[in-house]
Amino acid sequence: MLLNWLLMPNTETGLCILGRDGDWRRHSYADIAAAVRRAIWLLRDRDVCAEDRVAIVLADPLHFVTAFMAALAVGAVPVPLAPPTALREADRYVAHVAETLRVARPDLVCTGAGHRAEVLAALAAAGCPAGVVDIADAAHVPADSGDPYRRKPSDSALLQFTSGSSGTPKGVRVSWANLTANIAAIRSWMRWEDDDVFASWLPLHHDMGLVGALITSFAAGTDLWLMTPRQFVRTPARWLECFGVHGATITTSPSFGYAHVAARVRAGELDGMDFSRWRVAILGAERIDPAAVADFQALVGRRGFDTSSLMGAYGLAEGTLLATGVPARAGSRLVKVVDWALTAGSPVAISQEGRLGRDAVQGAGWLASCGRAADGVAVTVVDDAGDEVPDGTFGEIRLSGDSLAAGYLTRDGSVPFSARGSAADAPGADPVLDTGDAGFLLDGELYVVGRIGDALRVHGHGVYAEDVEAELSRLGGEQGPAAYAAVFGTIGTRDLAAVFVEGDPPRTWSAKAEQRIRTAASTDLPVLIFQGSKGSIARTSSGKPRRRHLWLRLLDGGVPDGWRLVHGEWPWPAGEQS
């Protein structure tokens, strides 16, 4: 299904890519097929065989698509990795990719001349002997005329890595059966139509951009408009142009993408745009900020965008991508939790409700629905013992089903997913994953609170970093929601909260931040605030704060390098930091 377009490529549809000069360029499926067939010849000339792993390190969207599809066509397993532009510091990038290469152990790395030095350095640091090929060399070789390699459902389709927000990235071997099931689930959930057009700014090496935008569009043979994350950050109005001028109908983005549009795009930039055809705007990858989404709706609603197009979703690399989603045109429900300090197995009480995009609600406790389980996916919530809890009860989210991979790939080999209780005691059973995400089901819809690893238990209750960061972004200043990272932990026997902020917040900001955190934790928790320059927060390749990394740097010696303690005092002697 995925490679049918290569056998009978369409000349009318394909990729529309925003160039560096600001012009959109169309590449039909026929054009792309010709480039892919030359890349197939290049890979076969390098003796790439079925089940070989081909790492792809490319920032250019057309080059990435060419290499990825060529790897699939020869029966290899593509391993998309973040290009150097996705992470700011060269040394940090090399260390990050080297750690990933130690797990992936690719047979070949497909990259470009601009990335070659970093790739070679990462391979050397990883002790990986893989060869390196420049995708541009495919322009100078003949085209391969053979049919794509025929795959079995159990064969590996791709190796994708978790984002690493809570630790070292782990590889997930997605089978063809997993990939096919998830693509079908995505299209069914969206109610995909023949004339739908996707537009995306998401990185193609990450599951939401790769599976959600690229692979789903190619499987359908429809148009796909692409711009890079850097282009989106600089000129978000060009992304809106895809929908308001060129007629795109579907997109997906983390909540911060919609917040960025609302903050940066002025109403006058939308003159002549009509968003009435834009029927699917997915929000995933992170907790949804209802206030920011309401700001986005206020901007585009005047031009025909309907709030019912906003569709909360939940997914993860381990499940190929999609796990749950709000149905198309149904609208996303908002709820306010009464007791925000929840414990696993406790009932959830709701005091208010609203509608995403319509209601500009603020404050801790507001959550947006991530919808119901996708086709072929089972979603439950379990307590600390691993036992399923009823609807309306807080706990850890558990997944199983056709889209769920078999387990992780680590430096020590393949490791099955972990699940507690009876789910872990069924030999030969289908994979089950305890996700590490906290949440609850309410009337069958999933609400995600945050990562269990990014929380602190105070008096038996969980305080989540996502809540604190959402609160901090509303305290004033020009930092924006992506400029904060909150981390929690215990040193010795004492709990601690630390906030890392990029830039220079207003003078009164620190005291207000401390009060907000203590209110959320319901205790006089010691709060440290560190200030650093823009870009100082260590992030995953998908842009999430690496909170565990920041916490470990605190444990190593107090104030991390590159940061300045501007509020609070390190309250314990060095001997208590272990």
Please state the three-class secondary structure of 377-409 as a single string.
EEEEEECCCCCECCCCECEEEEEEECCCCCEEE
pTM score of the predicted model? 0.81
Phi, psi dihedrals of residue 2, rounded to the nearest 5°: -65, -35
**CA dist 233 to 97, 227, 273, 312, Å?**
24, 10, 20, 22
Q: Is 38 helix (H, G, I), strand (E, B) or coil?
A: helix
pLDDT in tens, 394-405: 888 999 999 999
**Regarding predicted confidence, which is higher, 390 or 146?**
390
Where residue 489 falls among pLDDT bands split at 50, 70, 90? low
pLDDT value at 486 more than 90? no
On whether residue 291 sits in a domain, the answer given is: no
Least confident range of 95-109, 223-237, 451-465, 541-555: 451-465
On whether residue 47 sits in a domain, the answer given is: no
Give the HSE-up count for residue 114: Cα atoms under 13 Å, Cβ half-sphere. Answer: 8
On whether residue 311 sits in a domain, the answer given is: no
On whether residue 454 sits in a domain, the answer given is: no
Q: What is the CATH classification number for the domain harbouring 467?
A: 3.30.300.30
Q: What does the pLDDT read at residue 419? A: 78
Do residues 84 and 53 touch, judged by C-beta distance below 8 A?
Answer: no
Where residue 548 falls among pLDDT bands split at 50, 70, 90? low
Q: What does the pLDDT read at residue 493? A: 44
Q: What does the pLDDT read at residue 411? A: 85
On whether residue 485 sits in a domain, the answer given is: yes
On whether residue 469 sits in a domain, the answer given is: yes
557 CB-contact burial (10 Å; exposed 0-12 / middle 13-18 / buried 19+): exposed
Least confident range of 17-26, 464-473, 474-483, 563-572: 474-483
- The amino acid sitting at 431 is P
pLDDT value at 555 more than 80? no
Distance CA 195, CA 223 (A): 9
pLDDT value at 305 more than 90? yes
Do residues 436 and 396 touch, judged by C-beta distance below 8 A?
Answer: yes
Looking at the 3D structure of the chain, how many domains does it have? 1
On whether residue 483 sits in a domain, the answer given is: yes
Cα–Cα nearest to 447, from 208, 287, 256, 285:
287
Do residues 94 and 69 touch, judged by C-beta distance below 8 A?
Answer: no
Distance CA 278, CA 276 (A): 6
Q: What does the pLDDT read at residue 329? A: 87
pLDDT value at 164 more than 50? yes
| Percentage of the chain modeled with pLDDT above 90 | 55
On whether residue 451 sits in a domain, the answer given is: no
Give the mean pLDDT of the chain.
86
Question: 466 lies in which domain range?
Answer: 459-576
Distance CA 553, CA 560 (A): 6
Q: What is the mean pLDDT of residues 87-116?
A: 87
